Amino acid sequence: MKRIDAMRLIPLFMACGLLTVTVLLWPSADSDSGFLAWVNMAFMLALSLLLIQYGIRLLRESSEPRPGSRLRAKLVIAMIAMLMVPAMAIQMAASQMVERGMDVWFDVRVDTLLDRALNLAQGFYERVEKNTKRNLLDYISDTALLAAVTGNMDYRSTNNRLNEIRRIEGWQKVELFDINERLIGSVQKGELSALQTTPLNDTARLSMRLGRVVTELESHDGREVAVGYAPLVGATSVIGLLRVETELPTGVIQNARAVEADYRKYRQLEHNRQRISATFTHVMLFITLVVVLLAGLVALLFARRLTAPVGDLAHALRRVTEGDLNVVIAESSHDELGSLARSFNQMATRLKQNVEAIEQAQQDLTKALDNSRQRQYVLESLLANLQTGVVLVDADGRVRLLNQAVRDILRLPADWKPSADILQISHGNLRDIGDFYDELLHQKEELLQREFDVALPEGKTLHVLARGARLSASGSGFSGYLLVIDDISDLAEAERNKAWAEVARRLAHEIKNPLTPIKLSAERLQRRFRPQVDNTDVFDVCTKAIIDQVDRLLRLITDFSTLARMPQPKIRTVPVNNLLQDMHELFHSYRRVSVDIEQSNTATCQCDPDQIRQVLINLTDNAIAATGDDESRSVRLYAQTTDTTVEWHAEDDGEGIHEDAALKLFEAYYSTKANGSGLGLAIARRIAEDHGGTLKLISRADPTHFCLTLPLHVSHKEDS
Amino acid sequence: MAAQSPVYADETGSLQIRMGQKVMYCAARMNVDNNTLSIAMKDGVAVATKWSIHVGRVRNYWLNEGIADITVIRHAKPDLLTRSWLLTDSSSGISRRVYQIEDAIHFLSGLNNFPVLDKSLLLPDMQYRISISVEIHAEGINDAWWANLWHSTAASMQQDFSLP
């Protein structure tokens, strides 16, 4: 599961907090919270949505944020948090102060005081009204007024009466109306204010209709007048109306109205107490939100300005980490950030120089390594293709290197491997190798050369030439010993053969010369003196023995000469079956010799037929000799061909060949026969090798089996 | 010839239309808690009710067509010294003083036989709808433009009608 960065959840947390505050402060339906409350709600909801959108965008972003953005976000959050704490504290303190202030403003004592003041003012008005009503009651049945209303009094008398009443009661104005609302008389204090009379209003008519004294207040030009209406009751009904005015004292009225205004204002404030508190809270909240928003914007600008160099630095570091060293950041300011930028640029420059130097060194090293590898490859190829065995031993006597040739020559066992101690692994038939190394190790000379024989596991003996050299540590840094092993068995044998051939040639030359006169003399003695001797049998035996031995010596000398001067084979194309046919014709007198000629075999081979015939005759002679006179033992000759070779096989059921004799069978002058020269098989193998083929003993007994293998085609055809 | 429509009534108020010879009248009354108004009015707080009357022709699949929009404002200004209330009707300009708070509340909370519009504006066989909303303003009505942006409605009534 992908790990979510806690920083990315902060906007969502802030949105949750803001939504919680919004829910808590949501205006209720019945409270007249005002427009500002809804503005605040909309403001907070908008902020919450912005934060949620920003938080979701942060969560969905999979890539790494831009360098410096986290630091910027932290700074903005820290600044807003630093501002939020005192703002909230101030708001809470202010709310408490407002609540306390309201408690003081709307104190019970103030309430009572205002009630009493209003009661006083109301009491004044009531007293005025009561007085007016009481006084008016005295004139409801006034005879003079009734007479005036009924038209039984003249105008002057009426006015005198009204004037008297006005003076007695202290009224400002007195008017008399008949039942038809016609003015009968009117007197007033001071000069006349208007020529036309004021018509009766609803209150006056109500007074007449109900027959009751009624008072009301009227305002005229900033002054207030208490107006009283008294119906004049005749014998049976109301027949007129007396209207009086009493001007209220200006000072008292002003004070009373001031008290009323204050009371009204106070009550209005009291009614709006909750709204005032809510309004104050929302104003403070609005101010807080605006301040937070502005502070956030300012913090964002400030943080952006502050973190821009840090972001550039982080971005540059990331590029350096990714390998781009061509990074230069602006050194705009002269403060610590500018110093940091300069240091970074210097570091990047030095890093680039160092990297370039390292790359150059790496290139040199790579080139040297390539050369070294090339040399090593050449050396390894050389060693692998070298027919000479090479063993490299370090100063501690441990094998460091040995090529395939030495393994092939010496048939090295598996423990011969690099890092093996050469003295410990040189045991058995390889002890001479260890001795050679030990001698090289302890001698003073740098070089050592020895020849010795190494017996191979299959019984063969190798004659090797070992040469050793001490390698000094100067120059290559490696000190040790180099052993070079050469198989010189063939070379030694060739030298030995050459020496023998020379011996044979000289011996034949020296022996052959007297043999012919000896033989001729013996034959002459036999022809001339046989009749003269007494015992012819003894004479015949002796002369015959001389002649036979001389012949034997001549054959021996001939073989020696043949071995010494083996002629080059005269290659021609010969059918395989022809050679078998020759053998059949030669040995058909022997019943135990069977030559298997496969008529369908039309294969030919390229060889010297005389030499190959000599080889086959030699093999057949040996087989016949091995079977003795026992006719039950058979000799078989047959041929086989493959795609590349032709094989002649000679098998016999004789006594077989001893194991020791088998190892030396093809060596010259080794024979198991009493009168054998020991050269037949040696010559036969040499003929086979001269043809590029082999002559091998397949099995020593049951049956004794020889196989002559020749290639079907030779590279050089030499016609006679 | 006069015809009265059925009385529309709900928890906020009642409304009834009466067709006169040439004028359509309405009688509306708002159900308001008397204490709400009486406490304020006894404390000297001026109270006004603003009656907004809208008559429209009902249209299907489209907004109703406006026929008439009438606004009636009724004021009750208390006089604490004389314990009376000066009632003023803005549509007629008539004012009177009452000494009983019930009279003042009755004046504020209802329209009686109020002429709405001339019947000639109405077509027969057409469906019309009259909607009345009432706002209560304590301390008078603020005439500033922004004061009308937000105000809660105390009651709203509506009734469909057509010419008989």
**Domain presence at residue B73:** yes
**Domain presence at residue B122:** yes
Q: Quick check: A32 and B152 CB within 8 A?
A: yes
- A263 in contact with chain B, both atoms CB, cutoff 8 A: yes
Q: How confident is the model at residue A474 (pLDDT cuts 50, 70, 90)?
A: low
Q: Quick check: A34 and B40 CB within 8 A?
A: no
Q: Quick check: B150 and A257 CB within 8 A?
A: no
- B59 in contact with chain A, both atoms CB, cutoff 8 A: no
B99 to chain A: closest CA residue = A216
- B92 in contact with chain A, both atoms CB, cutoff 8 A: no
- What part of B 27-46 touches A (C-beta under 8 Å)? 40, 43-45
CATH fold for the domain made of A572-711: Heat Shock Protein 90 (3.30.565)
Q: Quick check: A267 and B44 CB within 8 A?
A: yes
Q: Highest-confidence range of A380-389, A446-455, A563-572, by mean pLDDT?
A: A446-455
Residue A718 pLDDT: 43
Q: Which CATH class is domain A386-487?
A: alpha beta
SS3 A356: helix
- B138 in contact with chain A, both atoms CB, cutoff 8 A: yes
Q: How confident is the model at residue A29 (pLDDT cuts 50, 70, 90)?
A: low
Q: Quick check: A268 and B45 CB within 8 A?
A: yes
- A34 in contact with chain B, both atoms CB, cutoff 8 A: yes
Residue B146 pLDDT: 67
B136 to chain A: closest CA residue = A32
Percentage, residues of chain A above pLDDT 70: 93
Which chain A residues are within 8 Å of B82, Cβ to Cβ? 125, 216-217
Region A681-696 average pLDDT: 87
CB–CB contacts below 8 A, A to B: 48
Which chain A residues are within 8 Å of B150, Cβ to Cβ? 34-35, 38
SS3 A273: helix
Q: Above 70 in pLDDT, residue A658?
A: yes
Q: pTM score, two decimals?
A: 0.48
Strand order in the sheet with A389-394: A399-402, A389-394, A480-487, A461-471, A447-455
A111 to chain B: closest CA residue = B43
**Domain presence at residue B108:** yes
Region A55-84 average pLDDT: 75
CA distance A33 to chain B (A): 10
Q: How confident is the model at residue A415 (pLDDT cuts 50, 70, 90)?
A: confident
**Which residues, at least 6 apart from A227, have a Cβ–Cβ distance to it below 8 Å?**
A203, A215, A216, A217, A218, A243, A244, A245, A246
Which of the pair, A468 or A513, is modelled with greater confidence? Answer: A468
Per-residue pLDDT of A331-363, as tens digits, reads 777 777 788 888 888 888 898 899 889 989 999
- B98 in contact with chain A, both atoms CB, cutoff 8 A: no
Residue A241 pLDDT: 92
A266 to chain B: closest CA residue = B43
Which chain A residues are within 8 Å of B146, Cβ to Cβ? 35
CA distance B154 to chain A (A): 10
**Which residues, at least 6 apart from A64, have a Cβ–Cβ distance to it below 8 Å?**
none
What are residue A700's phi and psi, to 5 degrees?
-80, -30
Count of residues for chain B? 164
Strands A635-641 and A593-596 come out as: parallel
Please tell me if the domain spanning A118-270 has the same topology as the one spanning A386-487: yes
Region A393-418 average pLDDT: 87
CA distance B122 to chain A (A): 38
Which chain B residues are within 8 Å of A207, Cβ to Cβ? none
Rg (chain B; Cα; Å): 17
What ipTM is given for this predicted complex? 0.75
Residue A218 pLDDT: 82
Which of the pair, A66 or B159, is modelled with greater confidence? Answer: B159
Q: Above 70 in pLDDT, residue A194?
A: no
Residue B151 pLDDT: 66
Q: Above 50 in pLDDT, residue A199?
A: yes
Q: Give the CA dihedral A312, A315, A319, A320, nearest 10 degrees.
A: 70
Q: Quick check: A271 and B43 CB within 8 A?
A: yes
Region A513-524 average pLDDT: 85
A122 to chain B: closest CA residue = B81
Q: How confident is the model at residue A231 (pLDDT cuts 50, 70, 90)?
A: very high
CATH fold for the domain made of A118-270: Beta-Lactamase (3.30.450)
Q: Quick check: A216 and B97 CB within 8 A?
A: yes
Per-residue pLDDT of A267-308, as tens digits, reads 888 877 777 777 888 888 888 888 888 887 888 888 877 777
Q: Above 60 in pLDDT, residue A720?
A: no
CA distance A130 to chain B (A): 12
**Which residues, at least 6 apart from A470, have a Cβ–Cβ distance to it below 8 Å?**
A440, A446, A447, A481
Which of the pair, A87 or A332, is modelled with greater confidence? Answer: A87
Residue A493 pLDDT: 76
Mutate to test the interface with A, among B39, B45, B80 (most CBs of A within 10 A): B80
Q: Which of B43, B80, B150 sits opposite A38 (nearest CB)?
A: B150
- A260 in contact with chain B, both atoms CB, cutoff 8 A: yes
Q: pLDDT truncated to tens, each residue of chain B (164 aa)? A: 456 667 777 777 889 999 888 999 999 998 877 777 788 788 888 889 999 999 999 988 888 889 999 999 999 998 888 888 899 998 888 888 888 889 999 999 999 889 999 989 988 888 999 999 998 888 777 776 766 666 667 788 988 988 87
Q: Quick check: A264 and B80 CB within 8 A?
A: yes
Residue A639 pLDDT: 92
Q: Quick check: B45 and A271 CB within 8 A?
A: yes
Question: Which CATH number fits the domain that encloses residue B44?
Answer: 2.60.40
CA distance B74 to chain A (A): 19
How many distinct structural domains can be found in chain B? 1
Q: What is the DSSP letter of A590?
A: -
CA distance B81 to chain A (A): 5
Residue B1 pLDDT: 45
Min mean pLDDT across A42-51, A123-132, A549-558, B83-92 is at A549-558
Residue B71: domain span: 3-140+153-161
Region A667-676 average pLDDT: 74
Place of tokens 């709400």: B36
Instruction: Locate A1 and state its tokens.
Output: 């599961």
Residue A717 pLDDT: 44
Q: Above 70 in pLDDT, residue A30?
A: no
Residue A535 pLDDT: 84
- A142 in contact with chain B, both atoms CB, cutoff 8 A: no
- B80 in contact with chain A, both atoms CB, cutoff 8 A: yes
Residue A496 pLDDT: 79
Q: How confident is the model at residue A65 (pLDDT cuts 50, 70, 90)?
A: low
**Domain presence at residue B147:** no
CB A60 within 8 A of CB A249: no
Which chain A residues are within 8 Å of B83, Cβ to Cβ? 122
Residue A410 pLDDT: 85
Residue B23 pLDDT: 92
SS3 A487: strand
Which chain A residues are within 8 Å of B44, Cβ to Cβ? 260, 263-264, 267-268
Region A683-710 average pLDDT: 89
Q: How confident is the model at residue A468 (pLDDT cuts 50, 70, 90)?
A: very high
**Domain presence at residue B145:** no
Per-residue pLDDT of A476-506, as tens digits, reads 667 889 999 988 888 887 787 778 777 777 7
**Domain presence at residue B148:** no
CB A545 within 8 A of CB A524: no
Which chain A residues are within 8 Å of B80, Cβ to Cβ? 118, 121-122, 260, 263-264
B95 to chain A: closest CA residue = A202
Region A602-617 average pLDDT: 88
Percentage, residues of chain A above pLDDT 90: 9
SS3 A439: helix
Specify burial of residue A436 (Cβ count, 10 A radius: 0-12, 13-18, 19+). buried
Per-residue pLDDT of A88-106, as tens digits, reads 888 888 888 888 888 888 8
Q: How confident is the model at residue A257 (pLDDT cuts 50, 70, 90)?
A: confident
Q: Quick check: B44 and A268 CB within 8 A?
A: yes
Which chain A residues are within 8 Å of B152, Cβ to Cβ? 32
Q: Which of A34, A121, A202 sits opposite B81 (nearest CB)?
A: A121
Strand order in the sheet with B155-161: B95-98, B84-89, B65-79, B47-57, B128-138, B155-161
Q: How confident is the model at residue A5 (pLDDT cuts 50, 70, 90)?
A: low
